A = this chain, B = another copy of it.
């Protein structure tokens, strides 16, 4: 892979908008929309007076409203799965390589819809609309902070369901998501099996194991250690950006693999005079990474990240402790796309899910995404699966 492309993709890793191989001359322009719903009760049993989320769509809803494909976004992602908001945006949405007119998810045929989740991390991104601890608590007129209820993947799905209900959509031709998006997609297929005809589950998991619950805590710990975090009461004061930047470093590395990571730094030299002379001077590599992470941190809200960590840690398909039983609920035709080099949500777990679903007589297939990005291959190396996805959607 060319160094220039790798550098571009690294920009993406630290960017709040994401990426797709934009090789079409005509850009698909998309518009961010605002959805409001009232009296939303979370799985944790709290009723929120009002929930606001952003959403966008590509293609046209047909008269029968049966050509809908829902895209659910990953941990650091937003609703921006494809297209551009403005023609001169630096980058299109993250799966632009497979979503658009004539592409694998053909917007001439399908109505593709995607929404920001609850507690979306990118609070300071002007294109993101979400409800979470940084939102105003109507009871106090101040940000919720940690009084915001814990929300789960099920809650993300239930908000999406309200959005779809508001549009009169009662059936999904398919639901597709990567990483934390795969959790939502599977939750849809488990909880609302009669509404989901096809499930495409990318670089994901079906349940959290002890290893992953422990690993995810690495994304929360630096935030809680930051002296500015103040038990989440930092609104209107200095933000816990140092801790949040450390979290960004951890997320980025966990989402990658040494192959492309190392290729990204062709000038890396382990002999670093500054770092040798003074413990206070970081190695040059770590200085560069810290700068990128800080830029990324500025677009995010620290508490929102804590809530996303918790939602992920509590995820298990159908919120049932027995995965095998939960998976029996799925009636959607299923395509599992783990990444061979994924170090975060490891492919062997999805091979087990495949075996479990197969044994239960489900219509399931699995195909591994190859690449050197690791977990991020689910975003950056999806193009070779275009034909497989296209055929899966047509069958």
Contacts and interface: CB of A to CB of B under 8 A. Distances in A.
Contacts of A22: none
B277 A150 contact: yes
A221 B246 CA distance: 7
A246 B225 CA distance: 9
A125 interface: no
Count copies of this chain in the complex.
2
Contacts of A321: 269-271
A285 B214 contact: yes
A222 interface: yes
Contact of A268 (B210, B270, B343): B210
Contact of A210 (B261, B278, B280): B261
Interface of A: 43-45, 146, 148, 150, 152, 207-211, 213-215, 217-218, 221-222, 225-227, 231-232, 242-243, 246, 249-250, 253, 258, 261-262, 264-265, 268-272, 275-280, 282-283, 285-286, 289, 306-307, 310, 313-316, 319, 321, 343, 346
24 contacts: A44-B276, A44-B277, A146-B279, A146-B280, A150-B275, A150-B277, A150-B278, A210-B262, A210-B285, A211-B253, A213-B270, A213-B283, A214-B249, A214-B253, A214-B286, A217-B286, A221-B246, A222-B246, A231-B280, A232-B279, A269-B321, A270-B321, A275-B313, A279-B307
